[in-house]
Structures are given as C-alpha cells and as structure tokens.
Amino acid sequence: MTDFKILGNTKMRVLFISVIIAAAVLVITASLRFSTCLNGIPHSDINIIDTGWLYEDESGGTVEIPSLPCELEHKSDTLYLTHSLSDTQQKAGNVLAFQTRYQSIRIWADGELIYEAAQGREHALSSMWHFIPYDDYIGASVLRVELTQYDGSSEWKLFSVYSDNSSAVEMHIIQQHIPTILVWMCCMLFSLLLIFVIVFMAIKKIAQIPLIVSLAAFIFISGMWILLDSKVTTIYGGNYAFTYFLSYLVFYLLPIPLLFYFQFILELKNRFLLSLIWITAGNFIICMLLYLLGIVHIRNTSTTVHLIIVAFLVTFIYEFFKKSAKIVRKKLICSFCGIAAIFAAGLVSIFLYHADLLPPANSALVYAWCLLILLLCMTMDAILTFFRIWKERQYIEFYRQLATFDSMTNIKNRNAYELRLRKLVGEHPSELCFIIFDVDNMKQINDTYGHHAGDEVLTFIAECIQKIFADHVDCYRIGGDEFCVIITDNTEISERLYEFDKLIKQNNKNKLPVSVSYGWSRKKFSEDSPITSDDLYEIKNSSDKMLYMNKNTRL
C-alpha cells in the first residue's frame, strides 16, 4: 500500500520545522548585520483640477462649484460645466482625465468640439474614463463640458478631473483600484490552483472532479466580474461596450457554477435547482434581446438575477437543513458560513439597491469583500473534501491490497487470479502460458515440523517464483500450497523452470525436504482469434494434468 505521508516520523517533522526556523532566523540576522537602507520613489500628488468649476443652473445663470468631487442637486438631465484653463498647467504629454457614470459627455475647447463619448446618446453607459490629449486643447482658454445622464436621478455625482502626465494619471487610477485588482488576482490564483488540483485528480483517477471544476468556474467568473465592473481595464481604451456587456454576462452567469457546486457537494437531485440553472443560463440571452430590440435597458434587467439569487438561497437553506443532510452539514460548515455572509450582504445590497439607497457603483465592492470570505470558506471545504477523498482512496487501496494480495507470501491471491482470468478473455496476446506449481509433501512438513515451518516453506517458494518470473508475468497463490504463473509472451519456459529448481536447491536455508512439482501449457493466438473462456479452461486443464504427472513421477 502506498502511503501518502511526508516526514511521517515525529522526530523528522520536528527536525524539518527546526531547520526552516533556523533558516529564517539566519536571514533576519544577516539582514540586520549587513543592513542597507535605500530611498524609494518619492511620493508626489497628481495634479487635480478640483476648483474653479462653474455650472449653469435652471435659470441660465452660472454657479461656482466649491470643490470636486461633489454631488449637485440639478433637476435637468443635462449639466454644463465650464472652467478657465488660463491658470491650469499645460505641458506636452499631459492629458485631461474625466470620469462619468451613466452619463454621456461632450467637451469643447474655446467653442470647438474636441471630444464626445456615446455621441451624446444613451448607449452602453456606465462608469467610464475619458482622456483628452494635450494636443486637442493646446492654447485653449476655456473648457466647456456637457454631461447628459440617463439614470433618472436628480443628484449629480461629479468626480475629480485630473490634468497631469499620462503615466501619472494611469498610476493614480490603478492605485485607486488596487483592492479590486488584488481580489481579481486572488481569484485567478485560486482558479489556477484548483486547475492543478483537477489535473492531479484526473491523473490519479480521483472522483468528484465536477465538484472542483464548478468551484474553479465560480471563483474565476467572480473575479472577472469584479474586475470588469470596476472598468479599470477601460483606461487603456478599446471597445468599451464590449467590456460593459461582458461584465453583465459574467454577472448573469455567476449563479450557475455556484448552483452546480452545491448540487454536487450536497448530492442533490432537486428539480427546481436544475430548472434554475437553465433559467439562469437563458436569462441573459432574453435580457440582451430585449435591450437590442429597444424594449428595456440592460441595466434595468438585474431584477431577474436578484430573484434567481433569492430563489437559490431559499432552496439552498431548505436542502441544507433537511434531516438527511446532517452528515453533509458537518462537511460544509465552512462553506455555509461563507455563503451565509455573502447572501446576507447580497440581500441587504438588493434591498438597498431597489430602495435607491445604494449606488450601483458600490455593489461590486460589497460583493468583493464577501467573496473573499466565501472563497476562504469554500476553499477550506474543498481542501478538507480533497483530503477526505484522498483518505478514502487510501482506505480503498488498503482494502484492495487485502482483497487481492496474500499477506503471508506477499504475492497476488486467488481473488486477483480470478480477476486476471476475466480480463484475459477477449485479449490478443501472441501466446498464453499457464504454469501451475504445487509444493510436494506439504502435509508431511506441517505434521513433522509444524505449521510455522510450513508457512516459511510457502514464503520461500513464493520468493523463488517471483525472482524467476515476476519481471515479465503475474504470480499468484491460488490455493494452500498451489501457485500459478501467467505468461503472455514467448518466454522460454524450460530455461526458467531449470533456473527455478536450481534456485530452490541453492537457497533452501531451512534444509527441509522442499521440492515443487509443476506443470505448464501454452497456446498461440492472433488478432483474429482472441482468448475465450474455453481457451483458458483448456490451457489450465492441460497444465494441471502435466503437474500431476510430474508429481506422481517425483513421488
């Protein structure tokens, strides 16, 4: 039996940990002994145009905005902002960076239109970054910005406007999204780790691979949604609409791997959950068709996903707390805590969202923190499940060894022999040969020298058989003092049996009257004539007849 133990000895474990601690202590000691302090990149604030902005109110007059970022109460769907560029640093390589949410934007420099996003119309708008190169507004004295919003809110969220080197703006935006990027990286690393686990399980033929696949898919999709929803990828340009709709796609598909995961781990056959999987898969297609036909905006279809999540939560709690799931609850206690946390936050977010108390921009952030908790809990359960499966596999291997190996002689037993005969039927070896061995006068040895001596003789015979034949064939103990060797190639039998007799005479340390009778028979086969049960019976029967002829000759 192969035992999966590393440093199983307690002394070895203590020694190994001591070596690791000693190595760490040496590293710290060396760093203090030869300490060298270096200055890092000096911190410098990005240039922000947060003052000097004016906006036109409903009466047509201009009102100064104290400072950005801020929120304005403005009833109109269109807001005009102006800013003088005379006091703004303008250098080659600079960019103006604007952020909008559910707003289209037009920008004029001294009356000339220099930039517009979504062409002033509602189209795939969410969080967006807009960058205007210095060459587009060089020499301009006044900047005029038109914002048109489409979420029906009277409250305008205005973000800071950056005016600095493009690299500085890029680094500043990335730094703002560091938590999101870290969560995304954690999800990708977890997914990659689980892929390695899946490959390992496939190689070792360990069951429950779909369970780990569904968990890996859920973690991957969750990480992608958090990254796409932040829109940090759009700072490098490209097709923004693709990013926008892709974020909706992964959000709408997010419940599917989670549904599969709990179906597998709870071993459920719940028809409603199966239906829910199909409903979730088709929901985005229906919502996208409705949007393309102009019936409803894509961002107004999230209610269906919310209903699916609530339905899944209710069904999950029902199944989890069924009396038949007591054992499963012990296995899933970590995941249950994680799923409880993420669903609690999700339900609160859904309620606040529909009550207009939670801006949509915060939904992914709330989910990200809860996702980290869930990932940790689900990963703990996955690890525990994996080790439980591995342990079960070890037990299976152990009992397989007990069932197919003779504990005294350490060669395969009658059960393994019968299994081998079944597998031989239908095979196409060039030749098939059976050699039957039978220890002479075994009863006399047991009666005269004791059963212990008889056991030593059997063990000795088994060792001799293995030394001569085990490099090419299978050796079996098929009875009390009877052994069998099955050969499926053109091995020279007479030479091997001569070496066998010679080995017994040379290595019989007990000096007991040990002799072995044997008989053998072989038959050739071709691709057109596979082995049949009758062939096995014929070969074995011929071997038995030859064995008893030799035994009668010896006796």
What's the token pair of residue 166?
């493009």
What is the DSSP code string of 300-358?
GGHHHHHHHHHHHHHHHHHHHTSGGGHHHHHHTHHHHHHHHHHHHHHHHHHHHHHTT-S
Residues 110-137 have pLDDT tens digits of 989 999 987 656 677 778 889 999 888 8
Q: Are 457 and 514 in contact (CB under 8 A)?
A: yes
What's the token pair of residue 216?
């890996």
Cα 206 from Cα 386, distance rounded (Å): 9
Cα 181 from Cα 12, distance rounded (Å): 41
Say if residue 3's pLDDT is above 50: no
Mean confidence (pLDDT) of the chain = 82
Of 2.60.120.260, 3.20.20.140, 3.30.70.260, 3.40.50.10860, which CATH number belongs to 48-166?
2.60.120.260
Q: Are 316 and 258 in contact (CB under 8 A)?
A: no
Cα 214 from Cα 261, distance rounded (Å): 5
What's the token pair of residue 64?
């100064």
pLDDT score for 162: 92
pLDDT score for 472: 58
Residues 435-480 have pLDDT tens digits of 999 988 888 888 888 888 888 889 888 988 888 887 656 889 988 8
From the list 164, 134, 158, the residue with the least C-alpha distance to 145 is 158
From the list 199, 522, 208, 187, the residue with the least C-alpha distance to 374 is 187
Residues 398-444 have pLDDT tens digits of 777 778 888 888 888 888 888 888 888 888 888 889 999 998 888 88
Q: Which residues does residue 475 pair with via DSSP β-bridges, in sequence order?
A: 485
Residues 256-284 have pLDDT tens digits of 888 888 778 777 777 787 888 888 888 88
Q: Which amino acid is at 47?
A: N
- ω into residue 66 within 30 of 0, thus cis? no
What's the token pair of residue 204?
């070792």
Cα 238 from Cα 29, distance rounded (Å): 50
Please count the other Cβ atoms lying within 10 Å of the Cβ belonging to residue 463: 16
Percentage of the chain lying above the pLDDT 90 cut = 14
Exposed/middle/buried for residue 323 (C-beta within 10 Å: 0-12, 13-18, 19+): exposed
pTM (2 d.p.): 0.64
Architecture of the CATH domain 177-399? Up-down Bundle (1.20)
Q: What's the CATH fold of domain 414-554? A: Alpha-Beta Plaits (3.30.70)
Say if residue 528's pLDDT is above 90: no
Helix (H/G/I), strand (E/B), else coil: 98: strand
Residues 6+ apart with CB under 8 A from 51: 66, 67, 68
Q: Which amino acid is at 185?
A: M
From the list 81, 53, 78, the residue with the least C-alpha distance to 65 is 53
Give a three-class secondary structure readout of 178-233. Answer: HHHHHHHHHHHHHHHHHHHHHHHHHHCCCCCHHHHHHHHHHHHHHHHHHHHHHCHH
What's the token pair of residue 73?
């109460």
Cα 333 from Cα 452, distance rounded (Å): 53
Q: Where are the domains of the chain?
A: 48-166, 177-399, 414-554
Which is it for the CA torsion 305, 310, 311, 313, positive or negative? positive
Cα 540 from Cα 33, distance rounded (Å): 78
Residue 288 vs residue 357, higher pLDDT: 288
Please count the other Cβ atoms lying within 10 Å of the Cβ belonging to residue 530: 14
Q: Pinpoint the alpha helices (H) of 266-301.
A: 271-292
